[in-house]
Amino acid sequence: MIEQRDAITATRGDTRTPAVTVEGVWKRFAQTDVVQDLSFEVQRGEVLGFLGPNGAGKTTTMRMILDIIRPDRGAITVFGSAPGIEHQSRVGYLPEERGLYRDVSILETLTYFGALRGLPTREARDRATRLLTEVGLGEAMKKKAAELSRGMHQKAQVVATVLHEPDLLIVDEPFQGLDPVNAELLRGVLLAQRDRGAAVVMSTHDMTDAQKLCDRILLIDRGWRLLYGRVPEIQRAFSDGAVEVRGAGISVDGARYPSVSEATQVDGSVRFLLREGASAQQLFRELADEGAAVDRFEVSTPTLNEIFIRTVAGDRRAEAVR
């Protein structure tokens, strides 16, 4: 145990050790394999978007990283060693199903949560007081949770998650049920934590948030990994060679351009689908040769939402970034 503790202490300054590694993990509930042969890493200072439809195994995986439940097979490490009590003071968790003690003041609840995460009680209380004041709950902090609005609860829960300045932040559907003000507050908190060097694992159904916040994404379905990588790389892999062009003298007849297989009119632009082996530069030259006046020329990349739908529906291009 002493060796393990030393190793943990050593990893605090070691930025090369991934915050989380998951290798070939399986988890079965009743007759269902909820997580199947799942592998991925989370680096410090990055936000990993954990995407997938309902029942994909996201929450189960997060709970295994948190050591709330254990995998049946495979290995998980957190800061280089098996997850457990040693790491709990370095992890912040905002679960999907979250609440507060209703008959206790939020300051008292947050102080308790901070103490559970290893902060001395006085320090936990001081930090909670400061952070609650910063998010506008200074006057409400001594009120019982039952007396506060839903929005106030949400702010307090966000504060509880980062109170102890965790090195690893795991947030499960963090924007679900948040009003726009608190959603923006949480986005700011997550990015601030990442910029501080913390690793962030965020599961979400909101692809707009994923695209805005995530450095890398991991898409799973029925426990299997479908996509894993940097967002631009995944978008490139899913790009179907389409180019959107706006301007004058641009023909919708694709046959006029040798590099084009198909052309369609879309909201004042023409969307060209390129032939296999053709490039966007080639099309640009052909348009110039035809005397077209190009105002806008954009290689179209699919949104994460499109990629999500296509991948879950079984797009073969997912294999390139699996």
Partner 1 sequence: MKTGGRSFAGLIALVARRDYVRTVRRRGFVVGTLLLPLGIGAFMLLSTILPGVAPGAGPDLPGGPSGSGDYVLLVVDESELGLQPRPDGTMPVELVSRDEGQARLEAGTADEFYLIPADYPADPTVRRIGNPTSGFDVASFQRQAGQQQELALLLRTTLLDDAAVPPEAAQRIVAPYSLKTETTAGEPGAAGPSIAAFLVPFAFTMLFVMSIFITSGYLLQSVTEEKENRVVEIVLSSVPALPLMAGKILGLGAAGLTQVVFWVLSVLVVLAVLGDSGGSLEGVAIAPIAVLLGLVYFALGYLGYGAIFSAVGALAPGSREAQQYAGFFGFFAVVPLIFSSIFITDIGSPIVTILALIPFTTPAAMLMVVTLAPDIPWGLVVISIVSLGTFTVLATIASARVFRATLLLYGVRPGARAIVGAILARA
Contacting residues toward partner 1, per CB under 8 A = 1, 4-5, 8, 30, 63, 66-70, 84-91, 93, 95, 97-104, 112-113, 115-118, 160
DSSP structure string for 70-130: --SEEEEEETTB--SHHHHTTEEEE-SS----TTSBHHHHHHHHHHHTT--HHHHHHHHHH
- Which one, 117 or 225, has the nearer CB to partner 1? 117
**Nearest-approach distance from CB 117 to partner 1, in angstroms:** 5
Beta-carbon contacts of residue 304 (< 8 Å; ≥ 6 apart): 51, 207, 210, 211, 217, 231, 234, 235
**Nearest-approach distance from CB 242 to partner 1, in angstroms:** 44
**Nearest-approach distance from CB 26 to partner 1, in angstroms:** 14
**Nearest-approach distance from CB 40 to partner 1, in angstroms:** 20
Beta-carbon contacts of residue 124 (< 8 Å; ≥ 6 apart): 110, 111, 112, 113, 114, 115, 117, 163, 164
- Which one, 102 or 285, has the nearer CB to partner 1? 102
149 vs 155: CA distance, rounded Å: 10
- Which one, 66 or 318, has the nearer CB to partner 1? 66
- Which one, 1 or 248, has the nearer CB to partner 1? 1
Which helix (H) or strand (E) segment holds residue 300: the answer is none
- Which one, 163 or 217, has the nearer CB to partner 1? 163
- Which one, 50 or 113, has the nearer CB to partner 1? 113
**Nearest-approach distance from CB 207 to partner 1, in angstroms:** 25
**Nearest-approach distance from CB 260 to partner 1, in angstroms:** 54
Query: Are residues 94 and 170 in contact, defined by beta-carbon separation less than 8 angstroms?
Result: yes
137 vs 143: CA distance, rounded Å: 10
**Nearest-approach distance from CB 72 to partner 1, in angstroms:** 9
Q: Which amino acid is at 199?
A: A
- Which one, 63 or 271, has the nearer CB to partner 1? 63
- Identify each DSSP E strand in the chain by its residue range: 20-29, 32-42, 47-51, 73-78, 91-94, 168-172, 199-203, 216-221, 224-230, 242-248, 260-266, 269-274, 293-299
Query: Are residues 229 and 321 in contact, defined by beta-carbon separation less than 8 angstroms?
Result: yes
